Amino acid sequence: MASDQHHHHHHQHQHQHQHQHPWLSFLKSAMATISAPDRNNKKDNNNLNILAFEVSTLMSKLLSLSRSLSDSNLSHLRYSISSPGVRKVVSDDDSFLLALIFAELTDSLRLISNSISHLSSRCSNPSLRSFPYAFKNFVSSGEDSHHWVLSSKDMLYKSKKMDRLISSTSDLHSQLHDLVDSEQLLKKLLHCSHEFSMNKITTIAEAQQRVVRQRQQVEHLKQVSLWGCTFDAAVKLLARSCFTVFARILHAFGAGHAAPQRSLSAAVYPAPPGPLISETTGLFEWSSRMLAAPEMTLGAAALAARYANVVIVVEKMMKAPGSVGQEGRDELYGMLPDGVRGLVRRRLRGVVGPASDAELAVEWREAISSIMAWLGPLAHDTVTWQTERFTPERRRSHVAGDVGPMLWRTLWFANREKVEAAVTELLVGLNYIWRFELELSSRNRLRE
């Protein structure tokens, strides 16, 4: 009887074991998926691998700069140096403004070329490794011994190639994030599972398939993006584009060594900056000096962003001045630098009595909107420029040739006294409109 029981028990155990078997092997396979070592982790000869994302950002910046030098963008530049805000508070001297733009473009390229130099030290090809020396030589003498400057047609072709690489590198970035999430989910499902219902098994199976599928996508993207590019291939693209962009800047401004007889500047600028750089100073040193804010400017006083924010707040308040309470007004006055606060206080010292003159209120509104028309764009560009400068991930649209706002179109080079006078007018006007609105609403309340 006992042996019968034992036999029955053994049979039952075997029976159970057979039932468990497909589940167990399935779970083992799911566990294996999680702990699968990354097969492609072997260091590929000389590929960028994880540096792909850094190189992609660099490529985007270079393409933005290149596209900002298209004929249509240069014509737009010509038009924008005539903008009233720039003329009123930055400078009304064409050649000075053009020199600023030229300095800013070459300085952007200097920063990009420093990054390319850093990458070039990892190349196997000796001519690519010599990029820092070759570029310095090209800037100072125009000598292009490697023939790296591309024709417009070739540059267009290379740009499209770089666009594709940037785009697939960006896809890889998001796919890697998704893969990490999927792997975490699969781990969680396996660790939190004590009993396995059919539903649970299905959920785990789906999660496992998702991980396997995403790994395949990631592997594919690694091959077609900058991740799978060698240092040599990436640096060659960057170096040639860098040389081409520099030649294009010189061509557009008719400046420096490589200025052809009839440069683009003749078509775009009536008064090109001409050979701006003396033989003794290097171009990049000259650019850096040009971009340092002169003494009388908001940039030198480190007040550009502060005034820009004040102007933007006034702009918002003017949309519905009647709805701005005491707290909002105090906040605005709190934002003011001391100089302007003093000016506003002096202007309002003699102001007494009710603000009941409707015509005067209309005049102030008009005065404020005419100041805003030229000061507003400078303020907005200042804030955007500031944000971009201090945001490490500059995810700009390189496709549109969007270099973002340029420094000369912000309040950085603006004359401090002129901006302070304009901001004082805004605040005195706003004060009258506030008092007028207050008066109006209290009169209406009395009528009721």
- 198-230: per-residue pLDDT in tens? 888 888 889 999 999 999 999 999 999 999 999
Selection from 256, 278, 298 nearest residue 419 by Cα: 298
Q: Which residue, chain included where needed, has tokens 């969007």? A: 402
- Long-range contact pairs involving 197-202 (C-beta distance under 8 Å, separation at least 24): 201/23, 201/26
Say how many residues make up the chain.
448
| 323: amino acid identity, one letter | S
Q: What 3-state class would DSSP assign to 144?
A: coil
In sequence order, the β-bridge partners of residue 387 are none
Q: Hey, what are 12's tokens?
A: 């039952």
Each of the 448 residues of the chain gets a pLDDT tens digit; together they read 545 555 544 444 444 444 456 667 777 777 787 776 555 555 556 899 999 999 999 999 999 999 999 999 998 888 889 999 999 999 999 889 999 999 999 999 999 999 999 999 999 999 999 999 999 999 988 899 999 999 999 999 999 999 999 999 999 999 999 999 999 999 988 887 666 778 888 888 899 999 999 999 999 999 999 999 999 999 999 999 999 999 999 999 886 544 333 333 433 333 334 444 444 458 899 898 899 999 999 999 999 999 999 999 999 999 988 888 889 989 999 999 988 999 999 998 877 666 788 899 999 999 999 999 999 999 999 999 988 876 644 444 444 345 567 899 999 999 999 999 999 999 999 999 988 988 888 887 777 6
The per-residue pLDDT for 362 is 94
- Strand locations in 260-396, DSSP E? none
List helix spans (H) across 225-353: 231-253, 264-268, 283-291, 304-317, 326-335, 338-348
What is the tally of helices (H) and strands (E) in the chain?
17, 0
SS (H, E, C) 30-69: HHHHHHCCCHHHCCCCCECHHHHHHHHHHHHHHHHHHHCC
CA atoms of 417 and 348, how far apart (whole Å): 19
pLDDT for position 353: 66
Tokens of 130: 């010599």
**pLDDT (0 to 100) of residue 33:** 77
Position 9 scores a pLDDT of 47
What's the burial of 410, exposed, middle or buried (CB within 10 Å: 0-12/13-18/19+)?
buried
Do residues 337 and 306 lie in contact, with contact meaning Cβ atoms separated by under 8 Å? yes
pLDDT of 404 reads 67
Place of tokens 């697939």: 168
With beta carbons less than 8 A apart as the criterion, state whether 309 and 384 touch. Answer: no
Which amino acid, 253?
F
Its pTM stands at 0.79
Position 28 scores a pLDDT of 77
The sign of the dihedral angle between the CA atoms of 346, 349, 350, 353 is positive
Q: Could you tell me the two tokens for 99?
A: 């020199």
Task: Give me the phi and psi of 442, to 5 degrees please.
Answer: -70, -35
Q: Are 400 and 338 in contact (CB under 8 A)?
A: no
